[in-house]
A = this chain, B = another copy of it.
Amino acid sequence: MKKKIAVIPGDGIGPEVMKQTLRILRFLEEKFRHEFEVEECLAGGVAIDKEGVPLPDHTLKTCKDADAILLGAVGGPKWDHLEGTDRPERALLTIRKELGFFANLRPATLFPAMKDACPLKPSLIEKGLDLMVVRELTGGIYFGEQKTITEKNGKKSAYDTMFYHEDEIRRIVKIAFEIASKRKRKLLSVDKANVLESSRLWRKTIIQEAKNYPDICLEHMYIDNAAMQLIRDPNQFDVMVTGNMFGDILSDEASMITGSIGLLPSASLDADQKGMYEPIHGSAPDIAGQNKANPLAMILSAAMMFKNSFDLTREADIIESAVEKVLDEGYRTADIYSENTVMLTTEEMGQQVLDTM
């Protein structure tokens, strides 16, 4: 199979974890005689430094031309003084919007070997933990009209608009129903319909759409309650779908509950299987360049790419099994190190996964 992959190492630990991921990519390319045309490009803080903008035009063009995008991480304290559209994060938001990556899939999985890292009581996760948060990614308050108003007396006010069109809601909830139908046939829709008009439209639309999925059990929950219930008993959920802002909060909370945050990948997809794949952890500038970072979330993001964008399930499975095996065997990077495990550097961890594959 021949594929074009845009690779954005980004800031902080991004380049290091990407390097290990590319080794694995090359290995699978050779083994299964694929042809991966990898084009590295700049985005985030490093692009601000070198080209003055978080997302240079040629990076956007490379992303548009590619079949899939791998992204390390963007941002860091160096660029924290910048405002609004000048910030590194803008690169992410622009790629999402420009490429129509409206469906953000965030699996929150507890790796058996990582049980002890879970912040919840053992009794709450006896059965493990395996949630999928589906977040709308190109609408809502992230992309509605926003403005700061200065009065004559110098006083300021500001607003943001949470806007949803029913078609935007429909296409994301369809994806969630499809995912639910391949899992436990249970879907939780999270909103704030007791207060927000856009949430009421969200709820009406998903209830309509549910008629096309009669075998899926759809439930609804307010975001404040969902934020509590996730902690009280995460296993009551399976697939959750929600808007951009609530999804930002809920998916991070769900990840933290697993305690495996250094290990979790994510996918941001358009309607045609094209997507951007990135670890959910940040750029961790404090350990950047020290060969300490954990490459597993980035490596698992590549596995998501194989599965979701290239339909290469075998390749994805090989990666995922290797990662699980490496963890089971007690290999750890510093961030997830605990007593009686073996500490590896970023490179050694990459090598360990390769060897296991």
Q: How many copies does the complex hold?
A: 2
- A356 in contact (CB, < 8 A): no
Q: Is A24 an interface residue (CB 8 A)?
A: no
| A165 within 8 Å of B (CB atoms) | yes
Q: Are B249 and A231 in touch, CB under 8 angstroms?
A: no
Tell me the A143-194 residues at the B interface (CB within 8 Å).
144, 146-148, 155-167, 192, 194
Q: Does A257 contact B (CB under 8 A)?
A: yes
Assuming the contacts A163-B159, A227-B249, A249-B249, asked whether A197 and B148 have C-beta atoms less than 8 A apart, the reply is yes
How far apart are A269's CB and chain B's nearest CB, in angstroms? 20
Tell me which residues from 55 to 102 in chain A have a Cβ below 8 Å from any Cβ of chain B: 83-84, 87, 89, 93
Check: A51 CB closer than 8 A to any chain B CB: no
Taken residue by residue from 193 to 204, chain A's Cβ proximity to chain B (1 for < 8 Å, 0 otherwise) reads as: 011111111001
Does A209 make an interface contact (CB < 8 A)? no
Complex contacts, A204 vs chain B, CB 8 Å:
156
Q: Are B164 and A158 in contact (CB under 8 A)?
A: yes
Q: Enumerate chain B residues within 8 angstroms of A223, measured Cβ to Cβ.
A: 248-249
Kindly supply a per-residue 1/0 record for chain A positions 217-249, scoring 1 wherever the CB is within 8 Å of any chain B CB and 0 otherwise: 000000111011101100000000000010011
In the assembled complex, the CB of A192 is this many whole angstroms from the nearest CB of chain B, namely: 8
- Which residues 26-61 of A have a CB within 8 angstroms of B? none
Q: Is A334 an interface residue (CB 8 A)?
A: no
User: Closest B-chain residue to A142, C-beta based?
Assistant: B195
Whether the Cβ atoms of B227 and A141 lie closer than 8 Å is no
Instruction: Please name 16 pairs of A and B residues whose Cβ atoms are closer than 8 Å in the assembled complex, sorted by A.
Output: A119-B232, A121-B122, A156-B166, A156-B204, A157-B201, A159-B161, A159-B162, A160-B162, A160-B197, A192-B245, A223-B248, A225-B252, A227-B227, A228-B253, A231-B231, A253-B253
B-binding residues in A (CB < 8 A): 83-84, 87, 89, 93, 118-122, 124, 141-142, 144, 146-148, 155-167, 192, 194-201, 204, 223-225, 227-229, 231-232, 245, 248-250, 252-253, 255-257, 261
Known: A84-B197, A223-B248, A228-B255; 18 extra A-B contacts, CB below 8 A, are: A119-B120, A119-B121, A146-B197, A155-B166, A156-B165, A156-B201, A157-B164, A158-B197, A158-B198, A159-B162, A159-B198, A192-B248, A224-B249, A227-B227, A227-B249, A231-B231, A231-B253, A253-B253
User: Top 6 A-B pairs ranked by shortest CB distance?
Assistant: A228-B256, A158-B201, A146-B197, A157-B165, A159-B163, A224-B252
